[in-house]
Amino acid sequence: MWLGLDIGTGGTRALLVDERGKIRAGHTAPHEDMRMERPLWAEQRPQDWWDAAVKAIRGVLAGAKISGREVRGVGLSGQMHGLVILDKDDQVIRPSLIWCDQRSQAQVEYINRTVGGAKVLNYTANPVLTGFTLPKLLWVRDNEPENYARVRKMLLPKDYVRFKLTGEYATEVSDASGTALFDVVHREWSSQMIEALALDASILPKCHESAEETGAISSSIAGLTGLAPGTPVVGGGGDQAASAVGNGIVELGVISCTLGTSGVVFAHMDQVTYDPLGRVHTFCHAVPGKWHVMGVTQSAGLSLRWFREQFGAMEAWYAGRTAEDPYDLIIREAEKIPPGSDGLIFLPYLMGERTPHLDAHARGMWFGLTAAHTRGHMIRSILEGVAFSLRDSLEIFKELQIPVAQIRASGGGSRSAAWRRIQADIYGKQLVTLQESEGSAFGAALLAGVGGKIYSSVEESARQAIHLRDQVAPQPANSRIYDRVYQVYQGLYPAVREFAHRLAELDTETVE
């Protein structure tokens, strides 16, 4: 039995997978809500991740009715880019600035001035962005010098949980790729970035390939979690790389589209290719010696969650009395609206945006609103707007000559048949779902199986454990409508970018 543990934004998911790739049990322990004390800020407490991880592990063992001695290995996955800093006593210094925190624009500009934007791209295969870990670290240096002076180790979210499980400071290549401190081409920490910014390399953890053993469950933690002491823990992967393994995105032509809190379009690469404009990310894959390219929209499922929390009180009330999912009730309203939402377009830039704008100050908006539009139009336009934002990545893949033969849908948004239909029509591609849609936790468990030699390679694990469930083919009439709407969508943010930045300046003045 193999355990996959995914430290997400909303909760930690533990999954037990047997030698045949079948899921035996799963358990999720929720996290506290992220703290958003100011516009563009987002923080979580690492201790909350650890508490949830313990609950999830104990819960999945109980659910499967097995002893921890039957777990032969553990794989970790988790939200990327978060900054966890520890002091000399291994205590967390401050709450983690997580992946969607956008406060570090000044530090991004400093890095580009000090190192040079072209050199950053050359050293790391990516531009530096506010979402990445390095500018967050420099934000602490610039704004909380007393905290920065205490830093002795920097970890990523899943790697903090690894440290608690094993006592080891370690990470792996896919997650390290999102720090802006990693040489993606050579799969090692970038000495050029470290030296140019006068950083202390000793704060960085040792970096492994994703299926390599990085430590073992310590005796002190075994009693707390129920796992056996000495159980090996492999590198695992950042959430997107691990999810790609769990979705079988380990060969050319098959890509994934994940609709979680954020949205990601992900493609496997045998050789390094990166966008000279830096609109998509090129990272090391969890497949040894391979890479991947991905485009990211910050607020995919988050956009629908925002709508539910602000305007879905009725659905929440009704769901509480009928056991229905409030999201199903909300999306049901959107199904009554025709493709294109009768000319209403939503930009899902509620937390800034990455692909293709690389703009922390991007703002969301509805455009085309008239008195004829209803709440249903607004909901459908959110579903369509998120899919349009992910199509932006597909268009860049086309420019980079990355083949796209099939798209595999995953994440919470993939559970909605209506949203899958919208995606297939907007992408103009066949959209496939899998029998197991667990994504990151499933991929982490498969990586543990590769590390434990039950599979000879990551590719073999995908062939044996991953099976297709159903598919949605695009409807040509709908795709033609969406092609026309997409042309308008593409032009909207460039037209209002200046105003978004002026609003951001007003926010800064108000805070000061």
Pairing between strand 23-30 and 291-297? unpaired
Is a pLDDT exceeding 60 seen at residue 460? yes
- The arithmetic mean of pLDDT across residues 352-366, rounded, is 92
Catalytic (active site) residue 239: yes
pLDDT classification of 414: cutoffs 50, 70, 90? confident
Indicate the DSSP class of residue 127: -
pLDDT classification of 467: cutoffs 50, 70, 90? confident
The domain defined by 2-247+439-465 folds into Nucleotidyltransferase; domain 5 (3.30.420)
- From-to residues of CATH 3.30.420.40 in the chain: 2-247+439-465, 296-437+475-511
- pLDDT score recorded for residue 508: 61
Whole-model pTM over 0.75: yes
Catalytic residue among 6, 48, 183, 239: 239
- Which is more confident, 354 or 499? 499
Task: Collect contacts of 144-153 with beta carbons under 8 A, ≥24 apart.
Answer: 144/94, 147/85, 147/93, 147/94, 150/85, 150/87, 150/88, 150/93, 151/85, 151/86, 151/87, 151/93, 151/203, 152/86, 152/87, 152/88, 152/202, 152/203, 153/85, 153/86, 153/90, 153/203, 153/205
Q: Please report the DSSP string for 57-102 in residue order.
A: HHHHHHHHT--BTT--EEEEEE-SS-BEEE-TTS-B-S-EE-TT--
Maximum separation of any 2 CA atoms in the chain, in Å: 65
Closest CA to 15 of 64, 54, 52: 64
| Sheet with 253-259, side-by-side order of all strands | 281-284, 291-297, 263-269, 253-259, 404-410, 431-434, 468-472
Assigned architecture for domain 296-437+475-511: 2-Layer Sandwich (3.30)
* Digit-coded pLDDT (tens) for 123-178: 999 999 998 999 999 999 999 999 999 999 999 999 999 999 999 999 999 999 99
* Digit-coded pLDDT (tens) for 272-304: 888 888 899 999 999 999 999 999 999 999 999
- Cα 264 from Cα 269, distance rounded (Å): 16
- Cα 219 from Cα 452, distance rounded (Å): 20
* Digit-coded pLDDT (tens) for 214-245: 999 999 999 999 999 999 999 999 998 998 99
Pairing between strand 281-284 and 43-44? unpaired
Q: Which of 105-109, 246-250, 422-426 has the lowest mean pLDDT?
A: 246-250
- pLDDT score recorded for residue 67: 94
Contacts of 68 (CB under 8 A, 6+ apart): 61, 222, 225, 226, 227, 228, 231
